[in-house]
Amino acid sequence: MFFFFSKVLLFIFSPLIWVFSLLVWALLTKKPKRRRNLLLFSVILLYVFSNSFLQDEAMRAWELKPSKAGYNQKTYDYAVVLGGVTSYYDKYYKQIGLNRSVDRLMQAIKLYKKGIVKKIIFTGGDATVLQDDVIEADVIKQYLIDIGIPVEDMIFENESRNTHENATYVYKLLKPTKSENILLITSAFHMRRSLGCFKKAGMNPDYFVADLYSGKRKYTPDHLLIPQTQTLDRWSMLFHELSGYVIYKIMGYI
């Protein structure tokens, strides 16, 4: 139930859905003044949530900034990479579609190649509502084998469906005596909730952020003034993460 509810929130906290609902309301209402106000509010809402500068500032306030981990002389026994890096898997051709969050995995591979981490732990099962039998950890395992990462240097957890379960299952996998010297790797916008879950589970990892959305501030006309379609998706993602953090706090997961 909790898993299904989290997916519903992803739909609810979408500025595009809000604008669409207001436009439908404006279309159905019989009061001219209300219709005019609804249309005006829709335009304002759409402009605000398609503004790249405002979205960038919101992300900057929420994302955890890069830490010194991975750049100093410290080494780690494990790099724990959180799932959510695939967009699809073609069973016939055995081809993986990788999304933007794959930067989590790429950063872990780089740190492994540099000798900063000794083993890579990937945690992620089937995170779809209908459970399509594609286990993310399993397809990523084959991907890493294909690019030459030795099997003995990889550990996979394939049962978890959310961040809370990521932390819980990794802790059970490593046991308390081995759960300290780890480096947690996930997207910057997702790190606050992830770090909270891992600490609640009994671990105290250092962290390495990947996939930063907030970059250097830009004051160009297109960034400040011109609406951008991809910005709507980023607001939805941020609102989902904020609501997830609050719900996890209420549930005692962080």
Q: How many CA atoms lie within 13 A of 39 on its CB side?
A: 10
More confident residue, 129 or 181: 181
Amino acid letter, 55: Q
Fold (CATH) for 76-210: Rossmann fold (3.40.50)
pLDDT at 125: 81
Mean pLDDT score, 118-127: 87
Question: What pLDDT does 129 receive?
Answer: 44
What separation in angstroms does the CA of 23 have from each of 47, 190, 228, 231? 14, 32, 19, 20
CB 180: neighbour CB atoms within 10 A?
A: 14
Sheet of strand 182-187, all strands in order from the earlier edge strand to the far edge: 154-157, 117-123, 76-82, 182-187, 206-210
> What token pair was written down for 182?
């780890």
The DSSP code sequence of 21-38 is HHHHHHHH---HHHHHHH
The average pLDDT across 116-124 equals: 95
In the predicted model, what is the mean pLDDT of residues 205-227?
92
Residue 60 has pLDDT above 80, yes or no: yes
Domain boundaries, given as residue ranges, for the chain: 2-63+227-251, 76-210
Tell me the pTM: 0.89
